[in-house]
């Protein structure tokens, strides 16, 4: 098994306030981090720092980000 360190320090569970499904295509700035699904298939965004998180939040006004699922 090979483990690789990734630069991500912040994880946020995502949902849109209008009920739209969160996908990398529906999320502006998803390329600033890594979009993954947790074991319950909930969308999670991993980003390097709080600045990147703020940029994504500012550019997705209907996006709700939670520190826990």
**What was the pLDDT predicted at 34?**
96
Q: What's the whole-number mean pLDDT along residues 46-65?
A: 96
Q: Are strands 63-66 and 43-47 parallel, antiparallel or unpaired?
A: unpaired
**What was the pLDDT predicted at 60?**
96
**What was the pLDDT predicted at 5?**
92
Instruction: List the chain domain ranges.
Output: 10-66
Q: What are the pLDDT digits (tens) for 8-50?
A: 999 999 999 999 999 999 999 888 899 999 999 999 999 999 9
Q: What is the pTM of this model?
A: 0.88
CATH for 10-66 is: 3.30.70
**What was the pLDDT predicted at 30?**
85
């Amino acid at each position: 098994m090979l483990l690789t360190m990734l630069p991500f320090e912040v994880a946020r569970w995502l949902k849109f306030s209008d009920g739209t499904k969160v996908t990398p295509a529906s999320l502006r700035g998803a390329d600033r981090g890594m979009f993954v699904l947790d074991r319950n298939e909930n969308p999670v965004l991993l980003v390097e720092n709080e600045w990147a998180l703020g940029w994504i939040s500012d550019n997705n006004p209907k996006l709700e980000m939670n520190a826990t699922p």
